[in-house]
Structure 1
């Protein structure tokens, strides 16, 4: 069987499942795709998949959106996306993957700390600004800010439906912003979009499984699934550096 086709199906499957369920698995996708498509071109292949799942997600979760949380979070995320585009044009892939793995591990540690020593600072506007900025940088450079966004949103004490809806709209808005920047960097083209189409069957299957799986998760399990998936993602990133 053709390895690139298997990789694309698997990437689509994980993308769909992650978007509609626990999140955090998104960090596994880039290292997997880079097995068949090494280098920055993998980013251009993945972005159309994320936008397709974003459209499905915002259509499915169009109620109970915490707009006040997004209003604090997104402005600096926009700035982070533009800063990330500059770094993406200049930083080495190995350096970035190592940096990203360290950030994910740090965020998991922060989440565990907050479980035992709750800190109100996670709900302050300055935290939203910082999370937004660094999340914008990371999503631009590696389509991989899911754990950072998830940890921040979890600490806002949102109910599960509001959490999912708010996260879906945040990524939808940011991924649309990234489109012209990826085109300008030469990462997104007609050819890369054609390659992305091979992942659509896996994407549809993963979205279906994730959507129904989410209904069976209680809040405590939900939080721990995000942390476990984030840890696995960090491990994968270290392996690829």
Structure 2
């Protein structure tokens, strides 16, 4: 899952934590799995951030950070307040919802319903409110469980059209947000957990394989077709976490 997740991350600038969340949180528990998901991203985020510093949409980055920060603070509180199993239910529900929304957008609408591309449809106030609302909610989800990427992309994918600049802008978002999350999530003794650090030693080489393959493959793939596969995988991962967590709660 780390190879697959970081392959997506290297291509698109988001997705590694969400794709692997069901596996990492299932194996390690939420209290270790969430900080693990944050820390394993940092070396790769910093590497790409330095390499692509000149090719970032700084204006949109400012909007994203400004609207996500209030949600991040709320999410950090929820991380320490929520019951672990309830947290898994919430993660599963959010990932499933995100996947269904994007499966409709990227598969059902263009392939099955044969509806034309919405690129030229006028931008309305309602659409702008929805996109900005996704940024705030994405901040909450990311602050709590480090899986806010798909919600935050709802804004970014409309604002930044170039695929490399889109990836690089999303990467800078995680440089800032995940650095903050790393400090807040390691409170309460988590930093001294041998399980956390031994898991990172195992996961980092796998993440590196996926990340650098994804970067190399970015110029050779059709991103739209690739995202269709990603969101089908997300539906399976999120749905599995949601169902198993609900059964455990019952």
Worse overlay, 170-179 or 138-147: 138-147
1:54: Cα distance to partner? 0.9
Structure 1 CA distance, aligned partners of 2:191 and 2:4? 21
Give the drift of 1:171: 0.8
CA distance in 1, matches of 2:125, 2:8: 24
CA distance in 2, matches of 1:78, 1:53: 22
Q: Deviations over 1:176-221 (max 9, x none)?
A: 1112211224433463335412222212211122112222122432
Report the counterpart of residue 215 of structure 2 in structure 1: 211
Is the 1:61–1:168 Cα contact (8 Å) retained in structure 2? Answer: no
What is the distance in 2 between the residues matched to 1:67 and 1:123?
A: 24
Shift of 1:121: 4.5
- Separation (CA, whole Å) in 2 of partners of 1:58 and 1:143: 18
Once residues 82 and 165 of structure 1 are traced to their aligned partners in structure 2, the CA distance between those partners, rounded to angstroms, is 24
Query: Any idea what the Cα deviations from partners look like across 1:90-125, whole Å, max 9, x if unmatched?
Result: 212332333333333433454435965657258966
Pick the aligned partner of 1:234 from 219, 238, 250: 238
For residue 202 of structure 2, the aligned residue among 198, 201, 207 is 198
Within 5 A, what are the aligned runs for 1:133-212? 133-156=136-159, 158-189=161-192, 191=194, 192-212=196-216
Structure 2: 5+ residue runs without aligned partners?
A: 110-114, 246-250
Backbone CA RMSD of aligned residues: 2.8
Normalised TM-score (structure 2): 0.78
Q: How many residues align?
A: 231
Give the corresponding residue for 1:30: 21
- Judged with a 3 Å threshold, the aligned counterparts in structure 2 of structure 1 residues 119 and 193 are, in CA distance, closer, same or farther, namely farther
Q: State the alpha-carbon separation in 2 of the partners of residues 202 and 213 from structure 1.
A: 17
Runs of 5+ unmatched residues, structure 1: 1-9
